[in-house]
Every structure is written in C-alpha cells, then in structure tokens.
Structure 1
Amino acid sequence: MIHEHWIQSIFVFIMILFLGGCNLASRKPSVQSPVESEFNYTEGKGDAFLYDVKIYREGKKNSVRLDVYRKNDSLALFARGYLGKGVLKGLAVSDSIVIYFPTENEYFSGKLNELIYKSCAEQDNLEQMLIDLFVMRPVELEYSMADFYVTVLNDKGKKQQFRLESKNCAESARLEYDFKDNRFLLEKIQFSNRDET
C-alpha cells in the first residue's frame, strides 16, 4: 500500500513538473521565403499530386516525397525527405522559376534552363512545358518543342504512356497518364539517360 502511494506521488510530482514547465512561448513570425512571398494564395480550383521520387546515382538511392500543386499557369513544388526534412520549395510560372533550398537557406530565381547544368533545352520554355505536362499529354501541347520529340508508347485506353526525349542530350522521360475526372493526369514520371542510368 505504501509502495503504491509513493508511485502515485511520484507520478503526480512528475506531471506537475511537466505541466508547470509547459507554457505558450511567444514566437516571432518567420520571414517568408522568396517562394512564399511570390505565391499568390487565391481561391479557386487546382490540382494536387503526391509523388514518391527515387533517385539512383552512382549506385546510391535517395528518396523524397514531392508535393505538386497546379493552378492555372503556376506550379508549386515541395520536396521533403521521408523524415520530414525540407529539401526544396519551388514555384514555376510560365516564364520563370523560383526555388528555395531550406537546408542551405539559398534560393534560385530565373529560367529553368539556367539552373540545369549544360541544359539540353536551349530554345524551349521548360517552365510552361513543365506546368502543362501535369494535365496534358505531350501530344496535346499546342506549341512546338524544338529541343524534344515525343514517342507514343501506348495511347489506347485509360492508361497511356509517352517518352519525351531530348534531341541534344541523353536524357529522356517516360510519362504515364491515367484518365480521371474526364481528363488525363500525369501519374508517373521515369527520368533516365539513354544508357538507363
């Protein structure tokens, strides 16, 4: 009985210390990152996508979760590691992109061609193409892609596949679309070199 009384007393004492030590701390509002300050938060209909990204490079595998939000002519990207650590935040509009790297506290603002080392797409507007490919199949794009060509792998049924290849470099992307809500939406992206690395 005395043993039980001590256990209860210790428990109450620990709870008092714990609860007494917890209070609402005053927090300074965080400064908006360049991505957050440029993003226009307006109501309306848009699309949200969640992708599991696996990157194989030099025999090592890295994985991140990629949240993509598309509304009209803008695309917001949020990549985070599986433990929740932010990898990047980005905003693409029809003619430029802003990317913030929270762990380094650095950002890039400009054309996507400038960000990609030795870009293979010198003439194409990669920002607009990136935005459009999330809700249009490559064969539906209404503008010409001077630096890329499209191969139709399967255009029958609700699941369709295309390969988008660079004319100037070894990179290609296999795009898989699924027919949902009366339209084709990008379901899977597989990016590789022609030698499949």
Structure 2
Amino acid sequence: MRLTRTLILSVAACAFAGSAWAGPIVLRANPVDDDGRVTLGDLFEGAGAAADVMVAQRVGPSVVLEAGQLQAQARQAGLDWANPNGLRRVAVRRAEAPVQGMAEAPAASAAVQPTARAAYRPGAVQQVIARNDMVRVTYQVGGVNLAVMGKAMRGAGLGEPVAIMNTASNRVIDAVASGPGQAVAGPAADVARAAPQQFAAR
C-alpha cells in the first residue's frame, strides 16, 4: 500500500514538473514539411527535444490544423504556445524541392530581388525588422518608458506585429515594429499598428 502510494505521488510530481517547465514557443510564419509528417519542429521555433513529435499527416499539397487542438498537442509535449494572435486554424504546406543544378548564390539573389522591388510598389510594406535581428522593445505607459533588448522571431514591416524573445528572461513579447531595430509593446502598439508612418516619424 505504501509502495503504491509512493509510485502515484512520483508520477504526479513528474507530471507537474513537466507542465511547470513547459517552454514558450513561437509559431513559424509559413510552416512547411517535406515528407508528409507534420511535426512540432515544422510548426514552431524553439521546439527543442519535442521537434520530432508528429501532430498530423499531410496527404495533399497542404493540411489545415485546428489551433486549439494544436495548442493541446504542444502542451502534452511540454511546450507552451500562447497563440498571441488568436488563430483558429494553422495551415501547413508542402515544402518545395530545390531545383537541381542551380547554384545557391543565384537562388539567394532571386529570392532577394522581388523583395527589393516590392519595397517600391505603392502600398507595399517595407521590412524594417528581419528574423534574428536584435530589437529594442519599448513599453510606454503613464509617461514612463521601459525598454528591453530581444531577438526577433520573424521579419516584420512597419506597423506589423512581431514576436520578440527577451534575451534576458527568454520570454516572448508581442510587439509591433515601429522602425529599423525598434518595436513597441502595450498601448503604443495599437497606435503603431493603426498609423505606422505617423508613429515612426516621432
């Protein structure tokens, strides 16, 4: 009887520890898979040891997953996805195979050129933060400004939402890009999202 109770307590303690140490993760901007097996690593950045955990099977060009179910699957694997944008569904596409014989340098150049041209199209949003950039995030409230440095988890144009990983605490901050290497959180984020050019001119 005592042995049984000890085993039950041990299992409960392990389960609690697993949930307490759940790591925050960020959904990839354009999730893709290349073998029909959709894993947590295909979907999230920072999945770590749970990257190979399979959550769905893709049989066509794409598969659509329910965000709530995906959140539960991530939690079971010891990961914490807050779904900050309130997504209902997440689409995963088949990764496009590289063209054989094509050198890497021309491929990279071809990928960059359309982006550069897009910056000059009317209404186009020019990227001011690139993925993995170090970004200064400012939180403004009641006349007090607080600032922290973090790493961008994705690229963003002026006025677009961007997830920033606080390098000191490893927490993810939901912010809005306000300029090159700059982002804002809190009430100022709504202003930057509604009028990005006006906000950046301050």
* TM-score after normalising by structure 1: 0.24
* TM-score after normalising by structure 2: 0.23
Point out the structure with the larger strand share.
1
Point out the structure with the larger helix share.
2
